[in-house]
Amino acid sequence: MLKKEDVEHVAKLSRLELSDAEIEKFTPQLSSVFEMFEKLDAEDLKNVEETSQVTGLENVTREDEIKCLDDLTCCTTEELLKNIPIKESSSILVPKVIEDK
Amino acid sequence: MTEEFRTVIGLEIHVQLNTRAKMFCGCDNNAEGKEPNTVVCPVCMGMPGTLPVASREAIEKTIKLGLALGCEIPKISKFDRKHYFYPDLPKGYQISQYDQPFCKGGQIELESGTVKLNRVHLEEDAGKLVHPKGSKYSIVDLNRAGTPLLEIVSEPDITSPAMAKDYMKELHLILRNLRISDADMEKGQMRCDANISVQLKGERRKGKVASSPIVEIKNLNSFRFVEKALAHEEKKLQEEFEKWPEKKTKLTHGFDSNRGTTYPMREKEEAKDYRYFPEPDVPPFDLTRFPIEKWKKELPKLPSHHRARLSELGLTKEEANIIAKDDTIKDVIENVAEKNKAIIGKLLINNVEARKLSIEALNQIADTIRDGSPSNWVRDMIRRSVKSGKLPLEIVKETKGLAPSSEEISEKTKEFTKFLISENPDVVQKHKAGKAGALEFLIGQGMKMTKGTVNPKELREELVKQLEEEKR
Ligand SMILES: [Zn+2]
């Protein structure tokens, strides 16, 4: 069972502000997710190789050239900034992350 | 007080590679002078569904640095995701390297000792944040996001703030030597985070070395600041040694360059909080299939090699240091005659004008210096050669022998010769009596009296002439 502090810690890493009520609510929920994964501990995985790659590819590189990787990555600045909620000309604005000194 | 303590410093240095394009996409890696967020694409903006592709050039440059620093290049290497949430990191994770970096170990040799390295790994830089005073917003510019970034991590082998500065300067020199980064610190192309702690010498507490907490100072962006910030922190850690609560082991500080002091910053996440895992979008690397032996052969000589060789040639440590840092002088020294290297090295350090001379002209000048031409004459010859574009030997020929450099000096020599004769009647007498060596003695006296500012051949000619005249 996860502790309240674990949820608080993960919330902090995720920059989520949770109320006490929310922490109460999410602690058992998140716990059950972990419990599901803990079932794997019961299995003997000694001879099972860890999977972090599924393509079987190796040494995929590109030449040092200034060009779009493909058609889909060729975009205008307008297109790229279209969904930015707050901007000033081409600057992206976010709520201030450090306090004024 | 300071004798009781041992200082332990380790540096993490970030260096932007000078590739044309970014690390995982084809955006221009040089966004100097560009408007914010105009040198970006869906990949470096972290849009969902994009696929990063690693730059071969960036990997080559990383491994070349590793080879130059004596690192082990492993058979297998890969990228990992490092997670943290901050607006400068659009994906919510940075593609970095965790347990299988491109380069492991290695070392940098300094005059003050050897600094072992932990690793050199490759990652992508984050974007830039500006926090305008009074505004409720921070400004995000992602032009820098995705620039290939090296992280060079030293072991805690550095024992003083001055040594930390030396280490950084040496690394800077090596990076420039390999031409893998401009390492311009003012432009943020080379940045340093420093870890420092002080330990009580000889004393153990509860079976452990008695140590202060480790203070990490972030974003030191000049050689001077590295030394200054560390010296400030070192003093503070020593003075407040007994006050540190035992449980506090790590603190994060920033450096205020205006005041020369450090201040506490937001606590950083611990390694486990970064939730590293292998980057599934970038397949791993079998480095045995890269031409590593060929790259090794292509490596330019390191500054430490140049310094050792220059010292062997008879230059002082200071002279060797100056030349090792100066690409122009270094290239010239490589190309001039072996016997002239030291003479020309000294000459180029002291005489800016001489740097305009060709290799051939420099060799000729060096020959005359070895023959004992006085410095005034040499200076004059360099000036004439630079001005006329003629070789020193041509000028010598035109002016008949090692000719007086100008009428004025010649006049001076004439007068001085007269004076020399009147000052040394005994020697003049001996010369007239046919005593061998008397003339040489007079010339020697003359050179000594003028501190070598007179041309010996000219003096000899004039002496012979005036003594002949006296005889008559
Ligand atoms: Zn891009």
Pairing relation of β-strands B93-96 and B80-83? Answer: antiparallel
Whether B278 contacts chain A with CB within 8 A: yes
Cβ-nearest to A66 among B28, B56, B84: B28
pLDDT in tens, chain A (101 residues): 889 999 999 999 888 999 999 999 999 999 999 999 888 888 888 898 888 898 999 999 999 999 998 888 899 999 999 999 999 999 999 999 887 76
Side-chain-side CA neighbours of B14 within 13 Å: the count stands at 20
Encode B172-199: b = buried (16+ Cβ within 10 Å), e = exposed.
Answer: bbbbbbbebbbbebeeebbbbbbbbbbb
Cβ-nearest to B21 among A13, A54, A64: A64
Cβ-nearest to B50 among A73, A94, A98: A73
Alpha-carbon span B322 to B292, nearest angstrom: 32
Alpha-carbon span B44 to B46, nearest angstrom: 5
What is A4-42's CATH number?
1.10.20
pLDDT at B247: 63
Whether B289 contacts chain A with CB within 8 A: yes
Strands (DSSP E) found in B261-355? 261-264, 277-278, 285-286
Q: In angstroms, what is the span from residue B38 Cα to ligand 1's centroid?
A: 10
Q: Do A91 and B133 touch (CB under 8 A)?
A: no
Please name the residue of chain A whose CA is at the shortest distance from the CA of residue B290: A59
Alpha-carbon span B401 to B462, nearest angstrom: 14
Q: Do A97 and B20 touch (CB under 8 A)?
A: no
Q: In angstroms, what is the span from residue A64 Cα to ligand 1's centroid?
A: 13
Cβ-nearest to B53 among A52, A69, A90: A69
Whether B141 contacts chain A with CB within 8 A: yes
State the SS3 of chain A: CCCHHHHHHHHHHCCCCCCHHHHHHHHHHHHHHHHHHHHHHHCCCCCCCCCCCCCCCCCCEECCCCCCCCHHHCCCHHHHHCCCCCEECCEEEEECCCCCC
Mutate to test the interface with B, among A12, A80, A82, A101 (most CBs of B within 10 A): A80
List the one residue out of A97, A50, A69 whose CA is nearest residue B41.
A69
Q: Do B135 and A96 touch (CB under 8 A)?
A: yes
All residues of chain B having their beta carbon less than 8 Å from the beta carbon of residue A100 are 131, 133-134
pLDDT in tens, chain B (472 residues): 557 899 999 999 999 999 999 999 999 999 999 999 999 999 999 999 999 999 999 999 999 999 999 999 999 999 999 999 999 999 999 999 999 999 999 999 998 999 999 999 999 999 999 999 999 999 999 999 999 999 999 999 999 999 999 999 999 999 999 999 999 999 999 999 999 999 988 766 766 778 889 999 998 999 999 999 999 999 999 998 888 766 667 888 888 878 888 888 766 667 788 999 999 999 999 999 999 999 999 999 888 888 888 888 888 888 888 888 888 888 888 889 888 888 899 889 888 888 889 999 998 888 888 777 777 778 888 888 888 888 888 887 776 555 444 445 567 788 888 888 888 888 888 888 888 888 888 888 888 887 777 777 778 888 888 888 776 6
Cβ-nearest to A64 among B36, B55, B84: B55
Q: In angstroms, what is the span from residue B135 Cα to ligand 1's centroid?
A: 29
List the one residue out of B399, B398, B330, B336 whose CA is nearest residue B369.
B336
Mutate to test the interface with A, among B86, B97, B140, B272 (most CBs of A within 10 A): B140
**Angstrom distances, CA of residue B329 to CA of B172, B243, B348:** 18, 53, 7
pLDDT at B248: 67
pLDDT by residue (tens digit) across A19-47?
A: 999 999 999 999 999 999 888 888 888 89
pLDDT at B26: 97
Q: Which long-range contacts (CB under 8 A, 24 or more apart) does A78-86 make?
A: A80/B37, A80/B40, A80/B41, A80/B42, A80/B45, A81/B37, A86/B137
Domains and CATH numbers, chain B: 2-294 (no CATH), 301-398 (no CATH), 404-472 (1.10.10.410)
Q: In angstroms, what is the span from residue B291 Cα to ligand 1's centroid?
A: 28
Alpha-carbon span B375 to B360, nearest angstrom: 19
Whether B273 contacts chain A with CB within 8 A: yes
Please name the residue of chain A whose CA is at the shortest distance from the CA of residue B61: A64
pLDDT at B406: 45
Q: How do the domains of chain A map onto residue ranges?
A: 4-42
Size of interface A-B (CB pairs under 8 A): 135
